Amino acid sequence: MRATTQQLERALDHAPAIAILQAERPDLAMKVAAACIAGGFRVLGVHGSIPDADDLVGALTPRPDTIVGLVCPEDPTQIRATAEMGAAFVLGADADSTVAAACEAAGVLWIPGIRNADDAQAASTGDTMWLHLQCPPESGPAGGLEQLRRLGEERPELGVIASGGISGDRIGDWISAGARAVGLREALYSPTLVAEGASVTIRNHAAAVHREATRHSRIAKRLS
C-alpha cells in the first residue's frame, strides 16, 4: 500500500534524509537499498535511470516502515508504473507540467525540481508546497546553500528537499539553512562500492550518515 504524504512527513521529522538509489542494474540497486535500510534509512528514492525502476519500487514498498519514491522520472509512463507499484512521491528533475499532470493523475506527491531560487516562482504554482533543489555541479555545495537560504527568505512556506553532492557531515548545514530534508547518494556509496558489492561498507556508511541526520531532526529539536 502506498505511503501517505503525512507518513512521509513523519519519517522526515525523525530523520530528514532520503537515500537515493542509482545503479546500472536493478539487482545492484536492490543491494544498495538493503544496505541503506539496514543502516536506518526509511525513505528511499529510486532513480528513473535504473532499468525496470517500477519493479524495484514494487520490491521495496512491502517492507515495513519503508517509504519509496521515484527520482528524476524518465517519462510520464514511468510515473504511472511506479505509482501502481506503490511509489509515494516523485522528486522531479525540473518543473515539467506534463510530469506534474502525470503525478496528479497517479495520486502521488509531485515535488518539482529547480536549480536556484529564481526557478521557484514558476515551479511552485497551484497547490505545490514542496520543491526539489538540485545543486548545480558548477556552483558546488556553497552555491546550493546560498540558493537554499534565498528560498527560505522568499518562500518560507515551502518544504525544500536539497540534493546533489551533499556529504554526510554537512547535513546540519543544510537543515540550518532551511532544507526540509536532503537527498543523499555520494554520502552513502560510490559506483565502485556498488560494482564491488560492498554491502557491509555501504551499510556502515549509511548507518553513520543516518545517525547524523537524526541529530538534526525536528523531533530532536523539540526534545532539546
Number of domains in the chain: 1
The grid coordinates listed for 19 are 537515500
Phi, psi dihedrals of residue 113, rounded to the nearest 5°? -90, 140
- In tens, the pLDDT along 49-104 reads 999 999 999 999 998 889 999 999 999 999 999 999 999 999 999 999 999 999 99
> What's the pLDDT score for residue 27?
96
Q: How far is residue 137's CA from residue 132's CA, in Å, rounded to a whole number?
A: 15
pLDDT at 59: 97
By the 8 A CB rule, do 187 and 166 touch?
yes
Sign of CA dihedral 157, 161, 164, 165: positive
**pTM exceeds 0.85 for this model:** yes
Q: Which domain holds residue 86?
A: 5-223
Check residue 219 and give its pLDDT: 66
| Triad 130, 183, 53: Cα angle to 5° | 95
Q: 184 near 209, Cβ under 8 Å?
A: yes
pLDDT recorded at residue 126? 64
Give the max Cα distance, the chain.
45
> What pLDDT shows up at residue 78?
97
Residues of the chain falling short of pLDDT 70: 1, 125-126, 137-140, 219-224
CATH code, domain carrying 117: 3.20.20.70
pLDDT of residue 137: 65
